């Protein structure tokens, strides 16, 4: 990633992905989703240009407007009161995303995004998306001895028994990576300037964002403030707590697999995984 000054005197973000064997179509999907978010009054980065053709250059790249402000994960200059203000606004952003609805669920189809410049889902049910690769990921955690076979079976049973709860009728746009390192805030007003990095975007239950956002590193407790922000825009379903417990568990499962593969599983991350099991008595 480079920050450059254009001939117009404005600063831009040039982001290139090097070394990928195949073109990274996700860069196109990121532009389409960030454009859609901004059209729906959601503060997001503005991706001006994407090129995955590799006709002129041998790599994929984006050109974005540079977001102003500070990143709270790397440079937060306020008290908990101001951090809570950011979290509350993040909850409002999740609520606004919930109003952007699609037919179907899951990740967006790459070919349609590239050739037709539009977003089309790839799965018929939310349950299908949430349980995708669940068996293999639980097996990988088992092999790493983070859990025993009894716990592994119990985790799989939780999701099997929860199919009716997870099979929601309508899917909404979910960012699914709302970490502090993926947003900028104004250090004077402590308002969010914009969210970015739409690489994990999908269509699912908006509660997935509410449940997963606090699983990233935060400076203060975030979940209750996110919920309050969400409720200031739209209502929560009666069974939101049960669904959020499931989505939190599903999120920490794939995160545990990632941590195991890259040998970055530490005490804090392990505790987050075990804490997500507690609501289910596992």
Q: What is the pLDDT of residues 51-100, one digit of tens each?
A: 999 999 999 999 999 999 999 999 998 999 999 999 999 999 999 999 99
Q: pLDDT by residue (tens digit) across 245-282?
A: 999 999 999 999 999 999 999 999 999 999 999 999 99
- How far apart CA 270 and CA 248 sit, in angstroms, is 14
186 in the Ramachandran plot: left (φ > 0), alpha (ψ -120 to 50) or beta?
beta
Cα 223 to chain centroid distance, Å, stands at: 15
Q: How many CB atoms lie within 10 A of CB 144?
A: 14
pLDDT for residue 161: 98
pLDDT for residue 229: 98
Spatial CA neighbour of 92 closest among 240, 234, 235, 230: 230
| Predicted model pTM | 0.96
Q: Work out the end-to-end distance of the chain between its first and last CA atoms, rounded to an integer number of angstroms.
A: 42
Q: pLDDT by residue (tens digit) across 210-234?
A: 999 999 999 999 999 999 999 999 9
Q: pLDDT by residue (tens digit) across 161-209?
A: 999 999 999 999 999 999 999 999 999 999 999 999 999 999 999 999 9
Task: Return phi, psi of residue 211, to 5°.
Answer: -80, -35
Q: How many CB atoms lie within 10 A of CB 248?
A: 24
DSSP codes, the chain: -EEEE-TTS-EEEEEEE-S-SS--THHHHHHHHHHHHHHTT--B--EEEEE---SSSSSEEEEEEPP-SB-TTT---S-HHHHHHHHHHHHHHHHHHHTSEESSEEEEPHHHHHHH----EEES-HHHHHTTTHHHHHHHHHHTTSS-HHHHHHHHHHHHHTHHHH--S-EEEE-----GGGEEE-TTT--EEEE---TT-EEE-THHHHHHGGGS--SS--HHHHHHHHHTTSPPPTTHHHHHHHHHHHHHHHHHHHHHHTT---HHHHHHHHHHHGGGT-
Q: pLDDT by residue (tens digit) across 15-49?
A: 998 888 999 999 999 999 999 999 999 999 999 99
Tokens 């901004």 found at: 38
Taking 90 as the threshold, does the pLDDT of residue 110 lie above it? yes
Segment 127-132 mean pLDDT: 98
């Amino acid at each position: 990633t480079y920050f450059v000054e254009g001939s117009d005197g404005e600063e831009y973000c040039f982001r290139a992905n090097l070394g990928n064997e195949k073109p990274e179509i996700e860069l196109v999907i990121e532009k389409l989703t960030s454009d859609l978010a901004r059209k729906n009054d959601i503060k997001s980065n503005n991706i001006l240009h994407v090129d995955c053709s590799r006709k002129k250059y041998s790599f994929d790249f984006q050109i974005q407007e540079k977001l102003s402000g500070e990143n709270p994960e790397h440079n937060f200059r306020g008290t908990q009161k101001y951090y809570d203000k950011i979290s509350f606004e993040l909850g409002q952003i999740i609520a606004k995303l919930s109003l952007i609805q699609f037919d179907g669920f899951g990740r967006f189809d790459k070919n349609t995004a590239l050739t037709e410049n539009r977003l089309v889902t790839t799965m018929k049910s939310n349950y299908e998306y949430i349980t995708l690769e669940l068996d293999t990921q639980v097996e990988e955690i088992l092999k790493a001895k983070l859990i025993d076979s009894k716990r592994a079976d119990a985790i799989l049973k939780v999701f099997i028994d929860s199919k009716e709860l997870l099979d929601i009728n309508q899917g909404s746009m979910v960012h699914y990576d709302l970490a502090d390192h993926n947003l900028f805030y104004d250090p004077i007003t402590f308002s969010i300037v914009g969210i970015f990095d739409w690489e994990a975007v999908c269509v699912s239950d908006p509660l997935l964002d509410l449940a997963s956002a606090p699983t990233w590193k935060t400076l203060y407790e975030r979940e209750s403030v996110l919920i309050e922000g969400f409720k200031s825009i739209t209502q929560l379903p009666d069974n939101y707590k049960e669904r959020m417990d499931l989505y939190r568990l599903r999120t920490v499962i794939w995160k545990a697999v990632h941590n195991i593969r890259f040998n970055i599983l530490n005490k804090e991350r392990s505790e987050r995984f075990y804490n997500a099991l507690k609501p289910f008595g596992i």
